[in-house]
């Protein structure tokens, strides 16, 4: 599969904008404690989107050229995710602060490059349009489980993840709207049960008493939060033109 960069004069403008946004990031104590020095270094580098596309070719084998992953949750949707979040997770995996044996060899510097590569590939991923048909849970709006999931979200998750799952790029809180249900459910369980070592301890404390049913209901609700159409691909049949 050949890759044809499509960014020309746009690259510089987008890179400047991204750099300005990320440099303002507030690295909380949690973030500092669970990252290597690569996180801060990468966030202060100006992204090169053309190199980001080249680096992303490695990632696309699992996350797909569109960055959508799989609705069955095998791999998460990366498209549209906040760049600081992506940088932090990549750096954590490389530093063995987050256990991900499948991804680890592909995230290493010898596979994708140094801090500049992290800056570049995350800038590219953040600008990808999201899947308009993400994987959703089984309970539709109006069901008792949907409504209970909504209440659990409002009572426990809004402060960090926002009123519609938008997250907070300056505090490393991920965007969870539009993410696949099965992937979120697995990560939620791992965080609750202490299997994800780089999880925010505030979240671990917040959800420690969630039952499995509670988890399923709140994640079902999140998976069904509508994403702003401007952030979505025009259809589920959209293909990334950079990979034509």
What is the distance, to the nearest Å, from the Cα of residue 74 to the centroid of all Cα atoms in its chain? 14
CATH 1.10.357.10 holds for 9-131: no
Is position 161 annotated in a ligand binding site? yes
DSSP string, 160-201: HH-TTS--BGGGTBPP-TT--HHHHHHHHHHHHTT--TTS-H
> Structural domain boundaries of the chain?
9-131, 144-231
Q: Establish whether 160 is an annotated binding residue.
A: yes
Q: Which CATH code for domain 144-231? A: 1.10.760.10
Q: Are both 9-131 and 144-231 of the same fold? A: yes
Residues 6+ apart with CB under 8 A from 81: 125, 126, 174, 175
Q: Is 103 annotated as a binding residue?
A: yes
Query: Over pLDDT 90: what percentage of the chain?
Result: 84
- Give the predicted TM-score (pTM) of the model: 0.87
pLDDT in tens, 122-148: 999 999 999 999 999 999 999 999 999
- By mean pLDDT, which of 12-16, 133-137, 192-196, 205-209 is the weakest? 12-16
Q: Residue 203's pLDDT band (boundaries 50, 70, 90)?
A: very high
Q: Are 181 and 140 in contact (CB under 8 A)?
A: no
């Amino acid at each position: 599969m050949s890759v044809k960069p499509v960014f020309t004069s746009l690259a510089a403008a987008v890179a400047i904008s991204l750099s300005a946004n990320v440099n303002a990031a507030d690295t909380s104590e949690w973030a500092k404690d669970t990252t290597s020095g690569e996180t801060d270094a990468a966030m202060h580098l100006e992204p090169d989107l053309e190199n980001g596309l080249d680096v992303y070719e490695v990632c696309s084998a699992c996350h797909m050229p569109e960055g959508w992953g799989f609705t069955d949750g095998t791999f998460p949707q990366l498209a549209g995710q906040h760049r600081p979040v992506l940088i932090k997770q990549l750096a954590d995996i490389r530093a063995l602060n987050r256990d991900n044996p499948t991804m680890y060899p592909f995230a290493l510097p010898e596979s994708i490059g140094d801090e500049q590569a992290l800056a570049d590939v995350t800038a590219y991923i953040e600008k990808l349009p999201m899947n308009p048909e993400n994987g959703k849970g089984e309970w539709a709006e109006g069901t008792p489980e949907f409504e209970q999931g909504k209440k659990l979200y409002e009572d426990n998750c809004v402060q960090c993840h926002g009123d519609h799952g938008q997250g907070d790029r300056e505090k490393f809180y991920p965007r969870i709207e539009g993410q696949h249900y099965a992937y979120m459910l697995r990560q939620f369980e791992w965080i609750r049960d202490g299997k994800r070592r780089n999880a925010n301890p505030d979240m671990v404390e917040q959800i420690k008493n969630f039952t499995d049913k509670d988890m399923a209901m709140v994640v079902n609700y999140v998976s069904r939060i509508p994403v702003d159409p401007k952030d979505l691909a025009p259809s589920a049949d959209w293909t990334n033109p950079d990979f034509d």
